[in-house]
Structures are given as C-alpha cells and as structure tokens.
Amino acid sequence: MNSFKSYSKCMEVRLIGRGLAVLIMFFTLAIKAQTEPRVSTSVDTTSIKIGEQIQFQVTVEADTTAQVIFPEGQTFSPLETVEAFKTDTTKKQPDRMTLQKIYALTQFDSGTFTLPIQRIEIDGKGYFTDSLIVQVTSVEVDTITKEIYDIKPLIPVEKNSADIQFFLWIILGVLILAGLVYWFFFRKKRLSEDEKEALLPPYDRALLELKRLENSRYIIQDEYKKYYSELTDIVRSYLEEDVHISALESTTSQLISKLELMKDAGTLRIEADTIDQFKKILETADLVKFARSKPESSKAEQDRKAIEQIVIKTKEAIPEPTEEELMQEAAYQEALLLRKKRKRWVLAGVSAAAILVLALGVSMFYYGYENVRDTVVRNPSKRLLEGEWVSSSYGYPPIDLSAPEVLIRQEVVIPPEEKDKIQNTQVFSYYNPNNMLGVGTTSTTLTEPTDPDYQKSIDEVLKDFADKGARNIITKQEEFSSASGVPGLKVYGSGTFQASGSGERVKGKYAIILFGGKGFQQQIVLSWEDGDSYAEEIINRIINSIDVKTQV
C-alpha cells in the first residue's frame, strides 16, 4: 500500500513538471512572437488608368533598437516610382515601434502588371513582401464629338553648351586683372602734403614757403645761416621756374646780370629799384652763409618781407603770353597728356600679357601642357568628363548606368515580321558629334520565355555601323560582369567611322555589352573616337557603372 502511494506521488510530480515545461514553452514562443519583426503591405487600389497613381504602403513592426532599411529607387519595375514619402514612426509599446512607408507608383502603358516582391532589411536580415497584380486601363477617348489631331513631332532645341563655371572663372580672372591694372596704373593715389605742395604753381608755392619760413624758429635759435639759405633758395627756385632763368647755379652777380639783361630786353618788366633791393638781400645772405655775419633779427625779418614783395613784383612783371604762345602751350600740354595716357595703356597691356603668360606657364607646369591646352580650347570630351554626371535607370527590364548626359528615349517601330517574337522594345541614346561619343541602351521583352539571340543583336549593331559609313570593323569578344556581378557578354573592337557633317573618316572604337534571360534582353552600345584619352575615361566610367536587373 505504501509503495502504491509512493508511485502515485511520483506520477503527480511528473505531471506537474510536464505541465510547467509546456507553460514555459508557450510563454517563450509568445515572447519570441512579440520580438520577431512583422512586415505587411497594402495598396489603395489594384486598378488604375494610365498615368494614375497607386499608394503602396509597407508596414513594419519591430523593436525600437532595430535598423530597418526600405527599398529605394526604381525597384518596383515595371511600375515607376513617382515619389517615396518619408517614413512615419509610431511607438505602441516602450520597446516596440511601427514604421510605415508609402510609395506613389504609376504606369504609362496599359495592361496587367505584377508589382514585384520587395526586400525589407531588418538588422541585416531580409524580409519579403507579397507580389500584387495591378490592372492598368487606357483612357477612353471621345472620337465622335471631338476632333482628333495628329501627334506633333519633336522639335529639336539647340542645347546651350556654355559651361557656366568656366565663364565665371574667366570673369573672375578678368576682374582681378582689371583691378590690378587700375590699382597700379590708373588709380588716383592720395597725395601727401609735400606732393600737393609740389603740384602748386611756382608763385603760390613760393609764397607758401615764405609763410612757413616766417613761422620757423631759425631766428629764435640764432640759426641765421639756415634762415638765409632757405630764403634765397625759395626766391631762386621761383625765378628758375616762372621767369625761366638758371638761378640756382648762378652767383649773386650772375643772377643780377641776367635780370638786368631781361629788363633791358623787355622780357621782364621789373623796376631797377627792385633789382637793387634784391641784390642787397643776396649780398647779405652771402655774408651770413660764407663770412658768418650775424644781422639783427629785425633785419632778417625785413629781408623776408622784402623777398615776398620781390616775388610779387616779379610775377606782375612777367608779360602776359600771346595767343600763339597760349595755343602752343595748350598743344604741348595736350600732347604731353596723350603721351602719358599712351604710356599707361602700353604698360597695362604689357602687364596683362605678362600676367597671362605667367599664369599659362604656371598652369602648364602644374597641370601639364595637354590639360591646359584642352581646357583653353574647350575640349568637348574633357568638358563631359569633368561635368556633372547623371545616374539613371533606362527601359524595362531596367539598365542602370551613369553618363555625362541624360539618354533620350527614341521612337522605335517593331518590324511586322518580328511582332510575333518581340513584345516591346525601349531604346534610349545620346550622341555628341563633336567627339563621336555615343551611348545607347536597348531593353527588349520577348513574347515567349526563350533565350535571346545575342549573335543576331551583334550583327544588327555592326550592320547599323556599316550603313552609317563604318569600314574595316574589327571584332573581339569576352565575358563581362555588371557592377552587381550579373554575367553578360562584351563585344568590342575598332574601325573607321564617318564623322557627322564633314564626311571625314576617323578612327574609332566601340563596345557592345549584352545581358539577358528567359524572355528578355538588355543591350548597351558605346562608341568613341580612337586616341581621345578623355573619351576613354568616360567609356571606362560608364562601363564600370553598368548594372542590370535580370527578373522580368
């Protein structure tokens, strides 16, 4: 009996243990279900007209610490992304959040399209959405009550190829050069007091200097030699400039003799008393300077006043110039001014040329001769290489690449004999006749899920080259991989191509890159001039950027 009770207790303990294990398992699963991210999608409609938009919403529930990455770019092909709205984040629990991302999608062709599966990355792990079927219907057109007009052809617009940045640098350089020329040759400099005084007429300058001598401290300090030296220099300089006699280098007797001769000739109408008075002052000055004589201070002041009156009387004694002399003086001054202006312009031109030559020399030393030459002559390939590039997706199935210019959609007519094989063809291209740079993409969807005929596509491209004048085409072939590792085929080579417009034959190169799968084909065709190093860099950069999506 005791053994039976022991057995019953053991069984009861086991049942309780199993129950606790089951409860712990369910509790663990519940916690894991709460922490596991959840992804759901919804659309506002699955049927639209051409050009209308679908609001595709992706909802993610995850931990607040989770890193969530939504799809970006044209990942919704064949539908086109119009806009990706900002992510809306809300918190339902302290450690849980809900993220909502809305995409506006559209399509401009009628038919039934599949919205492909999208990958949502959460903490490095991929979570996938469901695919959806979208019906796009055409817009009904009233052809009975309203008149239908033909589609207007495309109007070619000449593109403004001006490089704004280049011209801004030119303008800046010209402004700097003009500023330097103005600063050094044409700017009116602020004159000092000495320079302003030097520009005064001789008569005004002499009176100003005599007034300054009056206010000097020479007499107070018994510096009579300096006083009389400056006094005689003032009057001698005036006579030399205004009376036009050599007074500074003449002795007292020589200077007085010259004045008397001019008085007798009538070229200076000065009185004899004035000359005698001037002679006495000069003799006094000679005694002070050479014999160390020391006159009375009142005598020195009287001599200064007498010299001031002599200057005034001398100015009045100078005959007025005749009309002929005035005309000659005016003509001389005009010729002198013209000569100064011409000299300034010559100096400015030489300076500008020197600065330009120096700048070119430094640029060539730093950047190299060819680089500077191509920049100055505006090499079209160099401009494209250094300009702003455009990264975009072209056609369906999409071809992603970067190019110096946007590729333009081309109108393509499928031949009647190919309509049973080809469902749709989308072609985008760009061509620059200045450097023979051509970039083109072709995306083709087939009516049957069969492999594309690469050789046929290559033959068609080479035939197109030949029809446009290409000769001596050499062909090579190798395997190729896109930026994301998609395998493809590359056919490349060289030949002699006919330049647009001139008809001249130029050596060129080409490359044909093909991708494809069941029911579709993607093709990129590149062409450029042989020997153009900038074009080679452009092509290499384009090829390195090529990427394709291989799911239709």
Residue 151: pLDDT above 60? Answer: yes
In the prediction, which pLDDT does 375 show? Answer: 58
Number of domains in the chain: 5
Last residue of a domain, one of 317, 345, 362: 317
Q: 495: which residues sit within 8 A by CB, 6+ positions away?
A: 465, 470, 471, 472, 473, 474, 507, 508, 509, 510
Rg over alpha carbons for the chain, rounded to the nearest Å, is 50
Question: How confident is the model over 478-513, as pLDDT tens digits?
Answer: 989 888 888 899 999 988 887 765 667 888 899 999
In the prediction, which pLDDT does 326 show? Answer: 66
Per 3-state DSSP, the chain is made up of helix, strand and coil in percentages (nearest 5) of: 45, 25, 30
- Residue for token pair 């036009």: 244
The top-scoring range by mean pLDDT among 122-131, 133-142, 314-323, 374-383 is 122-131
Q: 482: which residues sit within 8 A by CB, 6+ positions away?
A: 488, 515, 546, 547, 548
Domain span at residue 31 reads 1-35
503 touches 514 (CB < 8 A): no
**CA–CA dist 448, 102 (Å, integer):** 34
Residue 130: pLDDT above 90? Answer: no
Other CB atoms within 10 Å distance of the CB of residue 464: 11
Q: Are residues 308 and 363 in the same domain?
A: no
Burial bucket for residue 43 (CB in 10 Å: 0-12, 13-18, 19+)? middle
Q: Are residues 471 and 452 in the same domain?
A: yes
Q: Are residues 388 and 526 in the same domain?
A: yes
Residue 44: pLDDT above 70? Answer: yes
Identify which of 199, 274, 264 has the alpha carbon closest to the alpha carbon of residue 235. 274
Q: Is residue 397 part of a domain?
A: yes
Question: How confident is the model over 368-396, as pLDDT tens digits?
Answer: 555 655 555 556 778 788 888 888 888 88
Q: DSSP letters along 111-137, please?
A: EEEEE---EEEETTEEEEPPPEEEEEE
User: What mean pLDDT is predicted for residues 105-115?
Assistant: 87
Q: Are residues 536 and 462 in the same domain?
A: yes
Residue 542: pLDDT above 50? Answer: yes
Question: How confident is the model over 65-94, as pLDDT tens digits?
Answer: 888 888 887 778 888 888 888 888 888 777
Q: Are residues 285 and 359 in the same domain?
A: no
Residue 520: pLDDT above 70? Answer: yes
What mean pLDDT is reported for the chain?
80
Q: Are residues 439 and 544 in the same domain?
A: yes
Q: Is residue 169 part of a domain?
A: no
Identify which of 303, 281, 285 has the alpha carbon closest to the alpha carbon of residue 213. 303
Least reliable range by pLDDT among 139-153, 241-255, 276-290, 364-378: 364-378
116: preceding bond cis by omega (within 30 degrees):
no
Least reliable range by pLDDT among 25-29, 202-206, 251-255, 297-301: 25-29
In the prediction, which pLDDT does 338 show? Answer: 83
Q: Is residue 162 part of a domain?
A: no
Least reliable range by pLDDT among 93-107, 142-156, 461-475: 142-156
Handedness of CA 332, 338, 342, 347 (dihedral sign): positive
φ/ψ of 85, rounded to 5, equals -75, 165
Q: Is residue 402 part of a domain?
A: yes
Burial bucket for residue 495 (CB in 10 Å: 0-12, 13-18, 19+)? buried
Q: Is residue 481 part of a domain?
A: yes
Residue 10: pLDDT above 50? Answer: no
Q: Are residues 210 and 333 in the same domain?
A: no
Last residue of a domain, one of 89, 117, 137: 137
Least reliable range by pLDDT among 132-146, 215-229, 336-350, 449-463: 132-146
Q: Is residue 203 part of a domain?
A: yes
Q: Are residues 217 and 287 in the same domain?
A: yes
pTM, rounded to two decimals: 0.40
Q: Is residue 101 part of a domain?
A: yes
In the prediction, which pLDDT does 27 show? Answer: 44
Overall residue count recorded for the chain in this entry: 552
Q: Is residue 436 part of a domain?
A: yes
In the prediction, which pLDDT does 33 show? Answer: 45
User: What mean pLDDT is predicted for residues 184-212?
Assistant: 79
Q: Are residues 219 and 261 in the same domain?
A: yes
Q: Are residues 399 and 416 in the same domain?
A: yes
Domain containing residue 127: CATH number: 2.60.40.10
Last residue of a domain, one of 377, 398, 424: 377
Domain containing residue 457: CATH number: 3.40.1000.10
In the prediction, which pLDDT does 237 show? Answer: 92
